[in-house]
Structure 1
Amino acid sequence: MFGRFKLDLKILKELDFTLLVAMITTVLFGCFNIYLATKGDVGFSEVKRQLIWLAISLVAIYVVLLIDYVVLQNYAFLFYLLGILLLIVTIFAGSIVNGAQGWIRIGGFSMQPSELAKIGIIVMMAKKIQDMDGKVNDIKNFFILAAYIIVPVILIVKEPDMGMTMVCFFIVLGIFFIAGLDLRVIGGGLLAIFLAIVLVWNSGLIQDYQKKRITSFMDPEADELNSGLQLTQSMIGIGSGGFLGTGVNLATDAPGGYVSQNVPEKDTDFIFAIVGESWGTVGAIFLLTLYGVIVYRTLVISRTSKDIFGKIICVGLAAYFLFAIFQNMGMTIGLMPITGITLPLVSYGGSSLLTTMMSLGLILNIGMRRKKINF
């Protein structure tokens, strides 16, 4: 009865345990920092919810591993279409968070459809490029791929969610580059994106307060009590961490650190400020090392994948991780504009954790089945 829910040992031996351990360690480190960020406000409640989502995510990964990833090609369009439909629902009936109508709430559960749409874009591009035998420089093939990309991205811009729009752009850029798209086309695409950003910036879709939040990184002290507050306080907290950090106090009744008390969104968008303050440079290096292992193993699995479909999925997800990590950490120290991009596997958020873990489960699946198993 339970045979269909068991992984064959010959396949299980191919599991990339290094990647698995690295991602679980990253999530647990994230839970530790979520507690440090919120213990003065809500005690253990947020950490408990995040750990529950971790358990759900591990079960989801196991289910993902049971199914040969090649089968996903048959359902790629349905998965892609589901993401688009949820984005449409979000635009008309979504909840507004930080100025973007990007969430769907059902009872006590909230989800961000753009997270699902992001994976849908990757899977759909992988499927189409596989069908095209990798011939992305064929003009017809290129415009087919562009059409599949533009539809969900326009809906994400409409929310407006500039952070996820940037994520999708770098995912697509990474996929096209690895697929061998002519560099002149990529250059033209970059110019088109720049012009599109200018158009959207002046279209009225982005409100003035959102513009100030995005551009505040250039001079946060110019408006440090309003648009520059988050960044200014974040840099103070990270700076106080020094090399070894200020240390941690696990007692629930003890007040949180400087970041916990002064930085908005310290458990989500600005969780890296908690890491920098509490653990210092050592903690940042530790976290970057974990991310480095995840991205490196993902690229190794991409290189050894048995087909184009698996390769493109891995490349797309690696591009997501690289950009999201750089963008999130950069915005907490004034190197990048402030957007709603969370730190993968570390920031608080159930739907984000679940989709990210399932994505990594798909990478593990591709790695497990990179070669034919002889029975």
Structure 2
Amino acid sequence: MNALLWIRRLPWSIVLAAGLLMLAGLSGIARGDALSGGSSFLSRQVVWILLSIPVMLVATIVPYRRLRWFSYPLFAVSLVLLVLVYFLPARNGAHRWIPLGVAWFQPSELAKLTFMMALAHYLMHRKHTFRLTGLLIPFVMTLVPVGLILREPDLGTSLVFFPVLFSMLFAAGARPQHLLLVIVLGVAMLPVLWLGMSAEQKSRVVTLMVQADGGTAPKGDGYHLHQSKQVLALGGAWGSERTGMPVDDPMAWHLPAGRTDFVFCLIGERWGLPGTLGLLFLFLLLFGRGLLVAAATREPFGRLMVVGIVALLASQCIINTGMTVGLMPITGMTLPLVSYGGSSLLATSAMLGLLLNVALRPGYEITSEPFRFDVGQG
């Protein structure tokens, strides 16, 4: 494919939205640096962004169909890494990271990417997905990484696998009545999930149920949620960048994990309602354009992979923004492209690169068997 055709086919709205989201993240991280008065995370995030650019380019240029044959081995490697973290020293009370000298690698980020690739490979032209028994292997493929990640413990990351599974099964042609039955069974399994959760995870769910607005900041897990909503409210409708800081007490602005899990609050505090609405609009643009890429793609592996990518990023966005405003329990979920962190940013950049890759090759492969996107028929 020549360069001119690439330029014409490339969905520039996705590139623009991703770039603006990264800039918004830098704005929030800079605000966190200013409020904390501590070490600068801004310069480190700039380095991660610079490293993410070649990752996205490579994921865009290499024909994605070749990755199909490596999807199962890569998924197996990611599962091995998820087991490896249990044999390494804990960090902040959790076994989620592998030390790599100057940086920390989070295998669960790799697992999300390889899981989507492996599941897309498996679901290609699988006629038995129209039968209830045909859903068994996809669910086993999901439950293995979910179980390993939940024990780290990392409730937020483990939860995003299920929307991805559901979306990809729906796109692959699973019958709606079968998916509805799966949802019912999933709800019935919630007590089992509760029993498997750590004491800290249970405490965060209880905190969500008994949260109170205003007053003295509570201790324990409720403190994060209280400060998150308070910092967001202190920015007002137009943000402190325009109206200034309404209070002088530094503890009022104290926000643990502000640059990572609660960067949405820092952006809202700095830029107000226009900042938060603008951020959500960019995400909607990214997700909507991604779905258009999926709809225009005839090749099944690429189409399913794009559906999984959009479902994953949308789930992360919903969980992160929901927990910062008290609508969902705090799970430690980062905001894609916006939160500070190398593993998350590099993994998301690779996913967006694959999305662009598929967009550049919508008719890359015309197969003898049609792709069943007409759900519930046949």
The TM-score, its normalising length taken from structure 1, stands at: 0.89
Rounded to whole Å, the distance in 2 between the matches of 1:257 and 1:278 is 17
- Of residues 232, 238, 249, the one that matches 1:244 is 238
**1:183 matched residue in structure 2:** 176
- Of residues 152, 163, 188, the one that matches 1:159 is 152
**2:280 matched residue in structure 1:** 288
Q: Which runs of 5+ in 2 are unaligned?
A: 366-378
Rounded to whole Å, the distance in 2 between the matches of 1:309 and 1:74 is 11
Q: Does 1:210 align with 2:201?
A: yes
Q: Does 1:37 align with 2:32?
A: yes
Rounded to whole Å, the distance in 2 between the matches of 1:185 and 1:294 is 30
- Of residues 120, 123, 127, the one that matches 1:129 is 123
Give the direction of change, closer, same or farther, for the CA distance of 1:150–1:55 in structure 2 (3 Å limit).
same
Task: Report the alpha carbon displacement of residue 261 of structure 1 after superposing the two structures with TM.
Answer: 3.5
CA-to-aligned-CA distance 1:234-287 (integer Å, 9 cap, x gap) = 11221222221121799xxxx999688411111111111111211111101110
Q: Does 1:25 align with 2:16?
A: no
CA-to-aligned-CA distance 1:121-150 (integer Å, 9 cap, x gap) = 111111111142x65123453222222222
Pairs aligned (count)? 360
Q: Does 1:370 align with 2:362?
A: yes
**2:113 matched residue in structure 1:** 119
Contact 1:94/1:102 (<8 A) preserved: no
Q: Percent identity?
A: 30
Contact 1:305/1:370 (<8 A) preserved: yes
Contact 2:109/2:347 (<8 A) preserved: yes
Q: Does 1:334 align with 2:343?
A: no
Rounded to whole Å, the distance in 1 between the matches of 2:345 and 2:251 is 23
The TM-score, its normalising length taken from structure 2, stands at: 0.88
Give the direction of change, closer, same or farther, for the CA distance of 1:258–1:118 in structure 2 (3 Å limit).
farther
Task: Report the alpha carbon displacement of residue 372 of structure 1 after superposing the two structures with TM.
Answer: 5.3
Contact 1:37/1:259 (<8 A) preserved: no
Alignment RMSD, CA only?
A: 2.6
Contact 1:214/1:339 (<8 A) preserved: no
CA-to-aligned-CA distance 1:196-225 (integer Å, 9 cap, x gap) = 33213224x512x33212331222249822
Residues 229-268 of structure 1: matches in 2 within 5 Å?
Answer: 229-247=223-241, 261-268=253-260
**1:168 matched residue in structure 2:** 161
2:130 partner SS: coil
Contact 1:38/1:260 (<8 A) preserved: no
Give the direction of change, closer, same or farther, for the CA distance of 1:138–1:94 in structure 2 (3 Å limit).
farther
- Of residues 49, 56, 61, the one that matches 1:66 is 61
Once superposed, which parts of structure 1, at least 4 consecutive aligned residues long, lie more than 6 Å away?
255-260
Task: Report the alpha carbon displacement of residue 187 of structure 1 after superposing the two structures with TM.
Answer: 2.5
2:335 partner SS: coil
Q: Which runs of 5+ in 1 are unaligned?
A: 1-5
**1:3 matched residue in structure 2:** none
Amino acid across the alignment from 1:130: M
Rounded to whole Å, the distance in 2 between the matches of 1:218 and 1:358 is 37
Q: Does 1:354 align with 2:349?
A: no
Rounded to whole Å, the distance in 1 between the matches of 2:177 and 2:249 is 50
- Of residues 7, 10, 20, the one that matches 1:15 is 10
Amino acid across the alignment from 1:296: G
Task: Report the alpha carbon displacement of residue 295 of structure 1 after superposing the two structures with TM.
Answer: 0.3
2:9 partner SS: coil
- After TM superposition, the structure 1 stretch with the greater mean CA deviation from structure 2, 137-146 or 287-296, is 137-146
